[in-house]
């Protein structure tokens, strides 16, 4: 699962990659058509200022996964996405926070009961954990 800080870093790294493509010293033998396309992509690409704005306005999408208050993260709710095959123990495949619960709910409704693994049915469930403070 991609966490908000990884998403923000991916956007920032992609911006830097496009900037590097335009730099003839960093990419000396690159065709001009690729440099021109990098320029066109960057023309409306979010800059550092815009990413800071996005982090403030949508912290669940572009926020820091490790807070700046000493590594303590306060979460309202964590939802575990679990699956099991037949009578085997439940396995946690993924997790999400309450901001992304719709994604988890859609995942649980796509229960592949018509699919079996070695003849055993597959079951899915969501398990919510109570509010608590997590140490990062």
pLDDT value for 61: 81
Q: Examine the domain organization and report whether 27 and 53 are in the same domain.
A: yes
pLDDT value for 71: 44
pLDDT value for 115: 63
pLDDT profile of the chain (136 residues), mean per 10: 81 92 92 93 89 83 58 58 84 73 70 64 75 51
pLDDT value for 113: 54
Q: Examine the domain organization and report whether 80 and 50 are in the same domain.
A: no
Q: Examine the domain organization and report whether 29 and 58 are in the same domain.
A: yes
Q: Examine the domain organization and report whether 8 and 60 are in the same domain.
A: yes
Q: Examine the domain organization and report whether 57 and 15 are in the same domain.
A: yes
The number of folded domains in the chain is 2
Distance from C-alpha of 3 to C-alpha of 92, rounded to nearest angstrom: 17
Structural domain range at position 111:
73-135
Q: Examine the domain organization and report whether 103 and 122 are in the same domain.
A: yes
pLDDT value for 119: 73
């Amino acid at each position: 699962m991609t966490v908000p800080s990884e998403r923000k870093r991916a956007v920032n790294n992609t911006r830097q990659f496009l900037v590097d493509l335009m730099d003839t010293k960093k990419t000396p033998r690159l065709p001009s058509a690729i440099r021109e396309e990098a320029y066109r992509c960057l023309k409306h690409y979010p800059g550092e200022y815009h990413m800071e704005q996005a982090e403030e306005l949508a912290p669940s999408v572009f926020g820091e996964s490790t807070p700046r208050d000493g590594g303590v993260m306060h979460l309202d709710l964590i939802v575990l996405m679990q699956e099991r095959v037949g009578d085997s123990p439940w396995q946690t495949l993924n997790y999400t926070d309450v901001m992304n619960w719709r994604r988890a709910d859609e995942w649980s409704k796509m229960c592949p009961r018509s699919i079996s693994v070695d003849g055993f049915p597959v079951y899915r469930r969501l398990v919510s954990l109570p509010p608590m403070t997590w140490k990062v």
